[in-house]
């Protein structure tokens, strides 16, 4: 791999150092390796973009438009080449940012004075006595013992390890802040992924006739099968409900700032209960509980629902206010609105690894919406070409 290719790869992965970035810029400005850079860009654009549903000819035209028409976004104001701008576009595609509105849009430079970084693996473990343990890279290995379980942290997930049958049970909680996420391995072998601003309360062992946990926010479950011991999830959101499980994978979204509690079944079988109302979900379906309106079921968009677990934002004709609520939770920012945005529905895929400034530039490139940023506050407005 040549030096040019190595630097471009680091640029795309976000691991390039300041000195390496200067080296890349110097090579670009001195017209070194133009053929290699172009081949790298074209390869990335052709291979890295997710499936848009367009015909191959349309996609080829999109690539050509991006490479030939993308305006210069120089690191230095006197940059004379479009190569680095195209490399930026290649980096965008390779990290999973992809935005379209069924037409070719040449993004216009948009000044977003914001450097808010994306969320990551961080949470707080609340022990039975109320004491707390930060879950981060500073607390690795066995961090505590609760009941008969050893608690091990590897920096991305927490595992409860009972050495044999246990009858000594205490309750713990994991709480993720805005801008945090975490994984949990329960004592029965089930796994839970917690999204930002979420929590789960659970016992350190399941010695009884059932397995029961309680969540707020959003969580994805992979339940270890045990037909003799059903798994129950008590959900606290705008309303309360319960999911009964035998062995399955499903997602629950129960944020208090959303109008519905949505349970999406990936595989297996679950029963949803709320008071006297109940419904059984089929795989690939979502059951939503609207306040005082019972359950409604519909075919799910699994890719969109589970995108957060895969490190992405994925939207399909999603209203900008729904999008901004997700951004608010992941980047720990406050959102306000100005003007009528009710008809602003967007479709696309964006990596959750992008910082907020990059994400807002992509959204503003749709020419449907624009932003003003101050500290950790984002004001959202309809697009105005004169501003």
Residue 79: its pLDDT value, please? 34
Chain segment 348-375, per-residue pLDDT in tens:
888 999 888 888 988 988 899 999 998 8
- With beta carbons less than 8 A apart as the criterion, state whether 324 and 299 touch: no
- Asked whether the predicted pLDDT for residue 301 surpasses 60, the reply is yes
| 325 contact partners, CB below 8 Å, separation of at least 6 | 255, 257, 258, 335
Chain segment 222-244, per-residue pLDDT in tens:
999 998 899 999 999 878 899 99
Residue 70: its pLDDT value, please? 33
Among the residue ranges 111-115, 237-241, 311-315, 345-349, the one predicted with the least confidence is 111-115
CATH fit for domain 212-300, picks 2.40.50.180, 2.60.120.1440, 1.10.3720.10, 3.40.47.10 = 2.60.120.1440
Average pLDDT of span 79-90: 39
> Of 133, 114, 113, which Cα lies nearest the Cα of 124?
133
Residue whose structure tokens are 């100005």: 338
Residue 132: its pLDDT value, please? 94
- Whole-number Å distance between alpha carbons of 212 and 245: 10
- Topology at the third CATH level for domain 312-382: Phage tail protein beta-alpha-beta fold (3.55.50)
- Asked whether the predicted pLDDT for residue 76 surpasses 70, the reply is no
Model pTM?
Answer: 0.71
Question: pLDDT confidence of 56, banded at 50, 70, 90?
Answer: very low
Residue 93: its pLDDT value, please? 35
Give the CB-side neighbour count of residue 135, counting CA atoms within 13 A: 29
- With beta carbons less than 8 A apart as the criterion, state whether 89 and 306 touch: no
Domain boundaries, the chain: 3-95, 118-208, 212-300, 312-382
- Asked whether the predicted pLDDT for residue 52 surpasses 90, the reply is no
Query: Which tokens is 371 given?
Result: 């932003």
- Asked whether the predicted pLDDT for residue 78 surpasses 50, the reply is no
- Whole-number Å distance between alpha carbons of 65 and 372: 29
- Whole-number Å distance between alpha carbons of 255 and 261: 7
């Amino acid at each position: 791999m040549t030096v040019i290719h190595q630097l471009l790869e680091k640029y795309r992965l976000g691991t390039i150092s300041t000195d390496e970035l200067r080296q890349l810029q110097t090579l670009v400005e001195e017209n070194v390796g133009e053929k290699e850079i172009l081949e790298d860009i074209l390869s990335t654009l052709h291979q890295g973009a997710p499936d848009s549903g367009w015909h191959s000819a349309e996609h080829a035209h999109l690539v050509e438009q991006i490479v030939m028409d993308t305006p210069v976004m120089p690191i230095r104001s006197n940059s004379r080449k479009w190569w680095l701008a195209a490399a930026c576009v290649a980096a965008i595609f390779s990290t999973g940012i992809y935005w379209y509105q069924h037409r070719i849009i040449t993004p216009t430079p948009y000044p977003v004075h914001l450097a808010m970084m994306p969320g990551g693996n961080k949470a707080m473990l609340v022990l039975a006595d109320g004491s707390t343990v930060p879950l981060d890279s500073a607390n690795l290995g066995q961090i505590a013992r609760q009941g008969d379980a050893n608690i091990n942290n590897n920096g991305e997930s927490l595992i409860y390890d009972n050495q044999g049958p246990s009858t000594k049970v205490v309750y713990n909680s994991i709480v993720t802040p805005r801008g945090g996420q975490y994984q949990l391995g329960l004592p029965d072998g089930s796994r839970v992924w917690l999204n930002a601003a979420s929590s789960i309360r659970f016992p350190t062992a399941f010695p009884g006739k059932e397995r029961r946990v309680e969540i707020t926010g959003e969580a994805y479950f992979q339940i270890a099968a045990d037909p003799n011991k059903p798994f129950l999830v008590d959900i606290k959101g705008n309303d309360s409900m319960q999911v009964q499980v035998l062995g399955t994978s499903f997602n629950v979204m129960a944020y208090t700032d959303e109008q519905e509690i949505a349970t999406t079944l990936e595989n297996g079988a679950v029963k949803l209960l709320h008071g006297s109302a109940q419904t059984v979900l089929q795989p690939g379906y979502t059951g939503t509980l609207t306040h005082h309106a019972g359950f409604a079921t519909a075919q799910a968009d699994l890719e969109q629902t589970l995108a957060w677990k895969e490190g992405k934002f994925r939207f399909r004709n999603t209203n900008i206010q729904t999008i901004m609520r997700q951004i608010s939770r992941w980047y720990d920012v406050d959102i306000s609105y100005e003007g009528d945005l009710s008809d602003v529905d967007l479709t696309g895929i964006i990596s959750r690894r992008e910082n907020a400034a990059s994400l807002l530039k992509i959204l503003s490139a749709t020419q449907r919406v624009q932003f003003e940023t101050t500290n950790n506050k984002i004001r959202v407005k309809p697009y105005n070409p004169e501003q």
